[in-house]
């Protein structure tokens, strides 16, 4: 979600704080601010909207000081206004916060009853007043934070600055990530706080990941970490691996476009770590449990990752004959699912920090399930808490709408499905070798799909005027229909829905008229004729069909379509990876035609760290 950076430095920090925020713009935000401390004064600057507005504010009213905190906010409590932007401050403290304080209302009411005055509508300002009360009562900053943290319920990462301490910040995390960085070289004698390693990459490669419930006192001499019981603890210092280089779009107009075109390379990188070409086998990372003993898989994810999990359900059941349950993470814990011994709980997340998914992971771990995670950030909370880490190798994904992370997730899940099938005796070595050969062909098939970019761009004007769009698919292409609809919603703001093709006549067909384009995903194969029948139902009611199929399918059913997009003929296993490309490109070009903010669509955040 939002971004945090804090610097206890030996030189002016305002410019470096803003640079850290700029590196986290991809997360999505709607306001930004910084606060520095100098000569017993909290110097705060905030602005709504894009980070450039904060830069302009700082040009008008500079903020000096060698210590400070900064934040990009994604609005939860209160509109995205300057008064609601972080940092929030009292006379004594300023702080920034990722997450949600769930019990803020009774805390706020009690503070108001004690005479405290609030300037914002946020839950965060409650924490500032609570800490300030303790400081004003004579407690040290450490004791003040120690007294306040047990009062907070919810999820938070906090970075707190104190008016009378220009050499110290305090950070805390519960359910939202926070890292400590240690300066060296030209930055020796500095210490940092950040939402992620990427924000700190230009400053240091030496970082420590705070664990759940940890809080930390950061000074120029280093960091002292305490656990949830306030006991001093040591946490390992690791190399972050995050690049300090600015992430650029290159010759592409948007990060999303660049990331769509990176897919052949990053999917190849991902598959390379799971496929053994010479032996023609699938290999997973070292594990200390027997996959053959797994009797059920529970898949939990959100958004695009959930649709990757839906595809995996088809694969696991078809190839490994392994029963699969799948849930959206925000619903999972609350239906009190039955988790029997011997189950594998599989969590899918780009960031590895998604709050709902992480909470579901811990629920399953407490219930004795074996935990596997498919993540793009191998140092994330989910990755560190898993029994089996299955990393994608998509690289940083800056566009808020996920593209290359999705196809890399599918690549990993396809490899896992094949491996499970072999381990369970449901797939012969010859069949495994055939699957490996199909997976090896994916990058070339993705390149063939991308070759239709100009054609898709040219037809985007046919979709851009629509208020509603339907996507249809059968089998593993049904989740692709859902994903295509989600992409169009996310970045073009056109209302879109995905349906299993056979469900059209059970209600959605009432929506069909000449103003509603219908995108049909239908590779030729066993289910093709049934999908063509559903297309005819749409046409008979004046609907305009865009058919995405291979040459054989288009030849059989393409006549009378508004438009067709030809995909390469591929094995059904890899069709979902290949057909992801045209729905991504269609959403992208429609959004460009409508003039929306493709990389940072309104109201969305890249990493959703609140429930």
CB 597 within 8 A of CB 490: no
pTM passes above 0.85: no
CB 345 within 8 A of CB 372: yes
Distance CA 492, CA 461 (A): 12
Residue 209 sits at φ, ψ, to 5 deg, of -90, 120
Where along the chain do its domains lie? 3-239, 249-440, 451-597
Fold for the domain defined by 451-597: Rossmann fold (3.40.50)
CB 8 within 8 A of CB 169: yes
Read off the pLDDT of residues 414-462 as tens digits, 9 standing for 90 and up.
Answer: 999 999 999 999 999 999 999 999 999 999 999 999 999 999 999 999 9
Residues forming the active site: 2, 606
The tokens of 139 are what? 């407690």
Strand order in the sheet with 324-328: 324-328, 296-301, 343-349, 370-375, 388-391
What pLDDT sits at residue 530?
A: 75
Is pLDDT of 609 > 60? no
Read off the pLDDT of residues 349-392 as tens digits, 9 standing for 90 and up.
Answer: 988 888 889 989 999 999 999 999 999 988 788 988 999 999 99
CB 315 within 8 A of CB 476: yes
Q: Which residue reads 């008064």 in tokens?
A: 83
Read off the pLDDT of residues 93-147 as tens digits, 9 standing for 90 and up.
Answer: 999 998 888 899 999 999 999 999 999 999 899 999 999 999 999 999 999 999 9
DSSP 282: E
Burial class (CB in 10 A: 0-12, 13-18, 19+), 83: middle
Distance CA 313, CA 307 (A): 10
Q: Which helix (H) or strand (E) segment is 499 a member of? A: strand 495-500
Strand partners, 374: 348, 390
Q: Span 3-239: which CATH code?
A: 3.60.20.10
Give the HSE-up count for residue 266: Cα atoms under 13 Å, Cβ half-sphere: 23
3-239 with 451-597: one CATH topology?
A: no
Read off the pLDDT of residues 179-210 as tens digits, 9 standing for 90 and up.
Answer: 999 998 888 899 999 988 888 888 998 999 99
Superfamily of domain 249-440 in the CATH hierarchy:
Glucose-6-phosphate isomerase like protein; domain 1 (3.40.50.10490)
Read off the pLDDT of residues 293-310 as tens digits, 9 standing for 90 and up.
Answer: 899 999 999 999 999 999
595 Cβ neighbours under 8 A, 6+ residues apart: none
What pLDDT sits at residue 368?
A: 93
């Amino acid at each position: 979600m939002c971004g945090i950076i804090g610097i206890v430095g030996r030189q002016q920090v305002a410019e470096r704080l803003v640079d850290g925020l700029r590196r986290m713009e991809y997360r999505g935000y709607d306001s930004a601010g910084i606060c520095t401390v100098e000569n017993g004064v909290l110097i705060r600057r905030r602005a709504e909207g894009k980070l450039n507005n904060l830069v302009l504010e700082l040009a008008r009213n500079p903020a000096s000081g060698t210590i400070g905190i900064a934040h990009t906010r994604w609005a939860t409590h209160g509109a995205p206004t300057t008064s609601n932007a972080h940092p929030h401050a009292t006379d004594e403290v300023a702080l920034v916060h990722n997450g949600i304080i769930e019990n803020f209302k009774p805390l706020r009411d009690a503070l108001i009853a004690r005479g405290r005055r609030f300037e914002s509508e946020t839950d965060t300002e409650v924490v500032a007043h609570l800490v300030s009360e303790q400081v004003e009562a004579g407690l040290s900053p450490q004791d003040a934070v120690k007294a306040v943290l047990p009062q907070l319920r919810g999820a938070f990462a906090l970075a707190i600055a104190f008016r009378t301490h220009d050499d110290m910040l305090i950070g805390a995390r519960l359910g939202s990530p926070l890292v400590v960085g240690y300066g060296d070289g030209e930055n020796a004698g500095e210490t940092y706080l950040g939402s992620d390693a990427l924000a700190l990459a230009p400053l240091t490669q030496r970082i420590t990941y705070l664990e759940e419930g940890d809080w930390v006192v950061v000074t120029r001499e280093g960091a002292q970490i305490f656990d949830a019981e306030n006991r001093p603890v040591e946490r390992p210092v690791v190399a972050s691996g995050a690049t300090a280089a600015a992430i650029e779009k290159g010759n592409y107009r948007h990060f999303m476009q660049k990331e769509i075109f990176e897919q052949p390379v990053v999917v190849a990188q991902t598959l390379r770590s799971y496929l053994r070409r010479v032996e023609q086998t699938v290999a997973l990372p070292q594990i200390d449990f027997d996959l053959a003993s797994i009797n059920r898989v529970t898949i939990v994810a959100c958004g695009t990752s959930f649709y990757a999990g839906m595809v995996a359900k088809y694969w696991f059941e078809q190839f490994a004959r392994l029963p699969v349950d799948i849930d959206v993470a925000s619903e999972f814990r609350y239906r009190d699912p039955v988790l029997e011994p011997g189950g594998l709980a599989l969590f899918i997340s780009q960031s590895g920090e998604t709050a709902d998914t992480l909470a579901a992971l811990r629920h399953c771990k407490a219930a004795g399930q074996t935990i596997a995670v498919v993540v793009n950030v191998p140092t994330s909370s989910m990755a560190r808490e898993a029994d089996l880490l299955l990393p994608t190798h998509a690289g940083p994904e800056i566009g808020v709408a996920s593209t290359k992370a999705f196809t890399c997730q599918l690549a990993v899940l396809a490899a896992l499905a094949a491996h499970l099938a072999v381990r369970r005796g449901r797939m012969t070595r010859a069949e495994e070798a055939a699957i490996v050969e199909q997976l090896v062909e994916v990058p070339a098939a993705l390149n063939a799909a991308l070759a239709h970019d100009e054609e898709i761009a040219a037809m985007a004007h046919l979709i851009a005027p629509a208020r509603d769009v339907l996507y249809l698919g059968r089998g593993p292409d049904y989740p692709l229909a859902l994903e295509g609809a989600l992409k169009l919603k996310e970045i073009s703001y056109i209302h879109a829905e995905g349906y299993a093709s056979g469900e059209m006549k059970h209600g959605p067909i009432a929506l069909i008229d000449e103003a509603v384009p219908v995108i049909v995903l239908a590779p030729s194969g066993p289910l093709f004729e049934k999908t063509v029948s559903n297309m005819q139902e749409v046409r008979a009611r004046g609907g305009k069909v865009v058919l995405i199929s291979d040459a054989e399918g288009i030849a059989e059913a393409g006549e009378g379509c508004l438009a067709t997009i030809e995909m390469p003929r591929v094995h059904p296993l890899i069709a979902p990876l290949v057909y992801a490309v045209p729905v991504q490109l269609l959403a992208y070009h429609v959004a460009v035609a409508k003039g929306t903010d493709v990389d940072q669509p309104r109201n969305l955040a890249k990493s959703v760290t609140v429930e």
